[in-house]
A and B are shown apart, each in its own frame.
Chain A
Amino acid sequence: SQKIEQNSEALNIQEGKTATLTCNYTNYSPAYLQWYRQDPGRGPVFLLLIRENEKEKRKERLKVTFDTTLKQSLFHITASQPADSATYLCALLASGGSYIPTFGRGTSLIVHP
């Protein structure tokens, strides 16, 4: 069956360090992979999209990599700040036209001052 796995344990890091979050998937052929940020009690907010033929995408302090051979995406936040503390969700959009986002359960990031 199709599965998207994100680390269920919270990631605790010190301010200024780089946070790295992982999204693994099985039995998918995603055309796109997205990352969202979700704060408690609120809806997710889109951060970045990467296509299947792209290896890396950057936006300000954010970097996403996509390895379709390993079936894995890594999401990096450099120079992390306490304000980056949130849950980060990955979503896959399969090829075939409908492009309906299928979400992982998310990983909580806690940045300590």
Chain B
Amino acid sequence: DGGITQSPKYLFRKEGQNVTLSCEQNLNHDAMYWYRQDPGQGLRLIYYSQIVNDFQKGDIAEGYSVSREKKESFPLTVTSAQKNPTAFYLCASSMLGNMNTEAFFGQGTRLTVV
């Protein structure tokens, strides 16, 4: 089945630690995105990538880093510089140049700082 997979579903981080959230898609999509969702808030864009080996900052990139070494994979690292990392993280992908531009989302990773 084609889709987008995030792992793990739940992640606990100690203060000062870096953690990496995985996102893999087999939809052959060029574009991939990371969003953060806080309770009662909309999705806020962290980073996006439209081509391998290239990515752009979104609205709230501080304290986060990404890589795009393969078309299928777009991991997100939450660094110790992110002061309030507890949130629900969503990865998405979409086709470029497609008039429908529908975004497909993973099931999310809930990150908690302990």
Contact = CB atoms under 8 A, between A and B. Distances in A.
* Interface size bracket, A side: 20 to 34
B42 A32 contact: no
Given A43-B105, A44-B90, A46-B104, A100 B42 contact: no
Contact of A42 (B35, B58, B102, B108): B108
B48 interface: yes
Main SS of chain B's interface residues?
Answer: strand
B105 A93 contact: no
Contacts, number: 58
A4 interface: yes
A103 interface: yes
16 contacts: A36-B103, A42-B107, A43-B92, A43-B105, A43-B106, A46-B102, A46-B103, A46-B104, A49-B101, A89-B42, A99-B101, A100-B45, A100-B58, A101-B92, A104-B42, A106-B42
Given A43-B90, A44-B105, 7 more contacts: A8-B40, A46-B102, A49-B100, A98-B50, A100-B45, A103-B35, A106-B42
